[in-house]
Amino acid sequence: MTGAPAAAAGQVRLGSLTVNRIGLGARFIQDPEAHGALLRRALELGVDLLDTADVYGNSEVAIAAALHPYPEGLVIATKGGQTLVDGTPTGDGRPEYLREACERSLGRLRVDTIDLYQLHMPDRNVPIEESVGALGELRAEGKVREIGVSNVFGQQLELARRAAPIVSVQNRYSLMHRDSETEIEFCEREEMAYMPWWPLGGGELARLGPEKAIAWLLQRSPAMLPIPGTSSIEHLEQNVAAASVQLTPDEVAKLETAASA
């Protein structure tokens, strides 16, 4: 996969794993028949990281149905620790719940070890050290290769890092939403990957061109690992094309001005 277009942006480390710097957010991957071609095209383009979660409907099952047995070098990341309460995403970071969630994801993905398992969001009723500590136990048991956190900021990130080795942070970040600068700097300093969710602003940045919006992210930090989600092969190809885009300082300034307008 390293010779494909996505590799043009270089690579980033996830602990013991190394991936190209443009992944695929698999939230919209729900049907292996409808989306299998998109997944296979992503691999052809050099996308070697798929990011999903147990709360993304049928995503884990669809990925396994379309791609298992997985090609060598493909990294599958998933998440646990979020539930819906009256339609509102709510953290459930109890160690026993995280263990059950991980076991279910292992079964749906048809693997013995999850490459990157992420705490989806903190639980206000459970210290984050306990939640991440539970993921550390799963890692020690061989059920998880590497650990990441999502929707974690400031001191919570420091506490999470003390509880277990953390290789990635996944928070919202884009040209339009830049509230996670501190966490990006943390990732740079600690040699961790930063995986921005909604890197295209939930579609709001389409008017600027997805290639430019993702290229801006790639140039923002060497830790950046965008994971734009799509169910369209055309959009996938546009997203991956960002790997070859080099923005001038003037173009960067114009993009930032346009995004804030």
The residue among 71, 6, 4, 59 whose CA lies nearest residue 34 is 59
Q: How far apart are CA 74 and CA 110, in angstroms?
A: 14
Sequence-distant contacts of 160-163: CB under 8 A, at least 24 apart: 160/119, 160/128, 160/129, 160/132, 161/190, 162/129, 163/128, 163/129, 163/130, 163/132, 163/133, 163/136
In what helix (H) or strand (E) does residue 101 lie, and over which residues does it extend?
helix 95-109
User: Residue 196 in 3-state DSSP?
Assistant: coil
Contact 43, 33 (CB under 8 A): no
The residue among 140, 194, 137 whose CA lies nearest residue 167 is 194
Q: How far apart are CA 151 and CA 149, in angstroms?
A: 7
Q: How far apart are CA 122 and CA 74, in angstroms?
A: 27
Indicate the residue type of 189.
R
The residue among 164, 175, 171, 202 whose CA lies nearest residue 186 is 171
> Catalytic residue positions?
56
Count CA atoms closer than 13 A to 94's CA, side-chain side: 6
Facing residues of 85 across strands?
88
